[in-house]
Structure formats: structure tokens, C-alpha cells
Amino acid sequence: MALLELSGVTRRFGGLTAVNDVTFNVEAGEIFGLIGPNGAGKTTLLSCLAGDLRPNAGSVRFDGRDTTGLPADRMCRLGLGRTFQIPRPFPNLSAFENVLVAATFGDPKLHGEAVARRALEMLEYVKFPRPIDTIASHLNAAQLKRLDLARALASHPKLLLLDELAAGLTPGELTSMATLLRRIRSDGVTILMVEHVMGLILELCDRLSVLQYGELIAHGDAATVARDERVREAYLGHDYVL
Amino acid sequence: MSAVSSGSATLADVIRTHRRRIGLLAILGVALVLPFIPPFTGEDYRRWLIVAAFMAAQAVAFDFTAGYINIVNFGFAAFVGLGAYTSGILAVDFGISPWIGMVVGASLAGLVGLVTGALTLRLRGIYAAVMAWFVGLALMGLVRNVPEVTRGSLGLSVPLLLDTSENLPYYYLILAMLVVTFVVLAWVIRSRYGLAFRAIGQNLASAKASGINPTRYLVINFVLSCAFAGWLGGFYAHFYGILTPDIMLTSHTVEVLAIAYIGGRGSLWGAAVVAFPLSIGVEWVKVQFSTLPGVHLVLYGVLLILVMIYRPGGVAGLARSLDEWWKRRRLPDRPSEATADTGG
């Protein structure tokens, strides 16, 4: 049984269908990539999985139960962690407190001193480069990405949704992020990542899905999908438009 | 994170680590002796002190909501009034002791806060604020329109809390109520509830993604703030001995809001501390310009605008910046404690 099963997920905004009848599974233990041009509906789809948006049709099963339309805080406590495309820290809390929030409320099994210990461990795990009492609003973009990742991991997720984690990172930061993601996977966390940096996708992902205009146009193992003609067209804009 | 340094801590170290608590105790000490320092030895001036402490306690309860979950309760004064009328009516019609009436008033204000909160706090920011305002206006309308019970704008005469007409005992009573309000709410803020409040107030999406059920914590916060408002209203009723619906006016909420914001949102202590100079200054202005009713509101408005433009963190924010500047200045001769913590 797959960890995450999407079946016919559809989300409309007024007359616009942002996500249309998307079906795929994410197996436990894999790194699954979701790619597609800008505006293809990737973030909308993630929001439907994470509980920020309710799908208009279709169903989402996570970890053996129907989670369609459950709110984001329930999804977090059920074991779904997520990072945001643009990191959204708690600006006036310290880095430590930012992660502490998720350790306190995201993992129902954690109590007492273990909560603070988890928060410290996670900051260390992502190699957070600043003193932990630094106020979040004083951090730069790359540091915020790591903080957001530590926060998402602090609730001890089974599945991690990453929305363009690599965007805006330097090549050096990219390499160390790839190492970190591989380590997260080998520690037993399944990853579903939305990404534009193809190098990272091809390096990390076992399988890929490609979204265009809200629909799944290709699906399969990473190397095959990357060679797919339709995918190349979607990306290179080589469409035969009338 | 118990990274207490080894060996003997000098007095200076103790002062440094407890500087917040020491500062607050010193301010409390000043508040305790203030009525014996001229001109506050006079009965009229002691009355100003009572008003100041009453405003301070209200501002703390207001900041608990506005400063942490980022919801402005524009109906705040109505919850104060609800507590006042509850306690007053219980005393007048049923002969119940004001001390018990105040607790009942607090409970009722909390209960109405629960209903209001459950209905409005699913909405975001400004909508919740407007809904709370409407509930406040509705409460005031209710009090106006049932003169059989409340005597409407004629005013309800209420027995006094203490068996004296002197102001000094009342001052110490409201000072004690201020301390209780502050200590209880500050304790909640330090708990996991406070962590949830701050997370929700600073970023709702991340708070949800971190497993926090926002409605639950928003309502808990709102109920607590309303209950303290009602309790303080009970003091108001049995100190003045006369109640009119005007106690619920939005302008009273705005006075409390101005003090809370000038003191510094999200600090609790800032509101309590600035309430004294501000409301004493305002009382003085009211006396000097008695021909210009409402001039104190203009004064609050101007001060509020200046603070919002130049010091949005208020007095507490200013104190925090000074504290950080002081720490930075000392940094060269001390290894960074925070970095050392990360290793442990």
C-alpha cells in the first residue's frame, strides 16, 4: 500500500481549473518529484494534500486513511510535514522557538524535555548556521530555508512536502541541500518535492510526475520522463500552438 | 537548555539574568509608595492613581489578545461593562456580596467571550475585530434598553466594595488586582499556550503547518482576556458606586488600546507601566481643559500615531532594542553563549 494515494484530485478557482483529475501514488521511502512549468498547478496540488485547500473532487489517502479535506493542523499531526515556497517563519520568535512550535504541537507523542531536545536536534540536523537565539526576521533566504526545513522535520513526519526548496540557492548550497535530502530519506522520511532545478530532480528523484495546465502529462521513473517528448515541449515552449 | 555557567555567580551576574524581574519589582515598589509622595497624598490625586492602576490592568488584559494573537477586541469596554453590571445587579437585586459578584461577572464575561470568539475567530483579523465591536455595541444597547433591570442611562446605584470612603485601600486593592492580572496572564504566555498564541499571531499558515489548531487557541485566549475584563469591571462598579451604559463606550476601548500600544504590543509589562504616567497625564489635561470635553482622546490619538510611526514596538520595544544594544556592546569580551548552546 502506498503512503500517499491521489485519485482524481481536482481543484477549481472560479472558472479556472488549477488541478484537473490528478492521480498518482507516492510509495513509502521514495523521493518523488513533481515538475512542470510555472502556473501548472503544482503548489495548488500540494495545498490540497497538506490541507490548506479542499479539493473540489477526488480523494487523498495518506498513511492508510482517507484524509481528503482534513485541515492542515490535523495533517501535520498525522505525519505530514511541509515547507513553503517562500519560507514563512514566525518573525519575532528565535530560530529555536520557531522549531519548538512544531515540536510542541506537531508531534502528539512528544512530551516534557524531549520537546526542546527535538527542536535542538533538528536545528543541528539541518546544519542551521546561526546562533539558535537569532530572531527569525534577521535571517537571510538560505538560512530561512534551512529553518523551515527544521520546522517541518520537528513534527516527525512520515511524508515531507517540499515546495521549491532549492529555488534561489547558490550551487554550493544546492550540493549540501542534496546531501541533506538524501540523509532525510535514508532516515526513513518519504519526500514529495516540487522543483524547478532539473539537476537536483534528476539527481535525487526515483520517480517523477509532470504537470501542465493542471493535468498530469507524464509519469514514471525519472530518466524516462526526462526524455519524454511532451515533457520537453512543455518545458521548452516548443508547442504547436495554432 | 540549562546552560548555567559553572562556579560562583557574582551579584552582577544574578542581576543580569533576572534584570526583567528586578525591574518589574522595582516599578511595583514605586507604585506601592506613590500615594505617600506629594502631590499623591491628596485624596483627589489618589483617585488618579486608582484610575491609572485600573487602566493598567485593563491594558494588560487587552494586550494579551491584541499583542499575541493579533486580534483587536473593539468590544473590550463592553466586556468590562458586562462584568460591572453583572456584579452590580447581583448586589442590588439579590444582595450578593460584591466579592462573589465580581467572580460571577468575570465568568459571564468569559462565557459571552466564548460565544463571541467561537463565532468570530474563524474569521481573519479585521473581521473578528469588527464582529467583537458589534457584540460590544449590542451589549451596550441591551443595557440601555432594559431600564427595569439596569435603570438605563439614569444610572444604577451599587454598594461599595469596601466599608470606607477613603481612596487608599481602593488603590491597594486595584494594584493587587493589576498584579494578579499580570502574573496570571504572563504565566499563561510562558506556557505552551503562549507559544501557540505567538505562533498564530505571527504567521497563521505556518502555525497550522506546525500542528496548531488555530480556532481552539484563539478562543482560549479571547475567553481569558474577556474574563479578566469582566473581573476588573466589577471593581469599577463597586468603587464608583454608580453605573451607566457609557462605561461600555468604544471610546473606553480606544483609551485602553492606546495605552496597550504605546506600552508595546506583545509585552504585557509595557502596557502596565506606561498606564501610570499616561492616565495621570490625561487626568491632569482633563482638569486643565475642562471646557474641552474629549480633549484627552485627541491626546491619546496623537500619541498613538506618533508611536506607531516612530516606535511601532512601543516602550517595551524600545527597552528591547536598548537591551540588545547593551548585549552587543559587551559581546567582544564574552564568548557567544548562544553558539555554545547549539552544541549541547
**Which residues of chain A lie closer than 8 angstroms to B214, CB-CB?**
73
Answer whether residue B234 shows pLDDT above 80: yes
For every one of its 242 residues, what pLDDT tens digit does chain A have, with 9 covering 90 and above? Answer: 789 999 999 999 988 999 999 999 999 999 999 988 888 889 999 999 999 999 999 999 999 999 999 999 999 999 999 999 898 899 999 999 999 999 999 998 888 899 999 999 999 999 999 999 999 999 998 899 999 999 999 999 999 999 998 888 888 889 999 999 999 999 999 999 998 888 888 889 999 998 988 888 888 888 788 777 777 777 665 544 43
pLDDT score recorded for residue B343: 35
Closest-CA distance, B226 to chain A, in angstroms, reads 25
pLDDT score recorded for residue B336: 45
d(CA A79, CA A107): 8
pLDDT (tens digit, 9 = 90+) per residue, B197-221? 999 999 999 999 999 999 999 999 9
DSSP A205: -
Count the Cβ atoms, other than its own, within 10 Å of residue A14. Answer: 5
Of A51, A71, A155, the CB nearest to B210: A155
Q: Do B341 and A133 touch (CB under 8 A)?
A: yes
The model carries a pTM of: 0.86
Q: Do B207 and A93 touch (CB under 8 A)?
A: no
Q: Which helix (H) or strand (E) holds A194?
A: strand A190-194
pLDDT level of residue B344 (50, 70, 90 thresholds): very low
Count the Cβ atoms, other than its own, within 10 Å of residue B24. Answer: 17
Contact A71, A183 (CB under 8 A): no
pLDDT score recorded for residue B2: 44
Does the structure's ipTM exceed the value 0.85?
yes
Side-chain half-sphere CA neighbours of B166 within 13 A:
8
d(CA B141, CA B153): 11
Interface probe, candidates B197, B206, B265, B323, chain A, greatest A C-beta count within 10 A: B206
**Which residues of chain A lie closer than 8 angstroms to B203, CB-CB?**
88-91
Of B192, B208, B266, the CB nearest to A72: B208
Contact A196, A167 (CB under 8 A): yes
Residue B220, C-beta contacts closer than 8 angstroms, at least 6 positions apart: B193
Answer whether residue B1 shows pLDDT above 50: no
Closest-CA distance, B283 to chain A, in angstroms, reads 35
pLDDT score recorded for residue A15: 87
Contact B74, B140 (CB under 8 A): no
Contact A6, A172 (CB under 8 A): no
Cell numbers found for residue A128: 542551521
**Which residues of chain A lie closer than 8 angstroms to B1, CB-CB?**
96, 116, 120
Of A74, A76, A128, the CB nearest to B210: A76
CA angle B129-B130-B134, nearest 5°? 120
Of A73, A89, A96, the CB nearest to B211: A73
Instruction: Taking residues B273-284, report their average pLDDT.
Output: 91
d(CA A135, CA A89): 10
Q: Which helix (H) or strand (E) holds A35?
A: strand A31-35
pLDDT level of residue B331 (50, 70, 90 thresholds): low
Dihedral of CA B312/B318/B324/B329: which sign? positive
Q: Do A104 and B192 touch (CB under 8 A)?
A: yes
Ramachandran angles phi, psi of A59, nearest 5°: -140, 155
**Which residues of chain A lie closer than 8 angstroms to B199, CB-CB?**
90, 93, 101, 105
Residue B128, C-beta contacts closer than 8 angstroms, at least 6 positions apart: B71, B120, B121
* pLDDT over 70, % of chain B: 93
pLDDT (tens digit, 9 = 90+) per residue, B161-193? 888 878 889 999 999 999 999 999 999 999 999
The whole-chain average pLDDT of chain B stands at 87
pLDDT score recorded for residue A229: 77
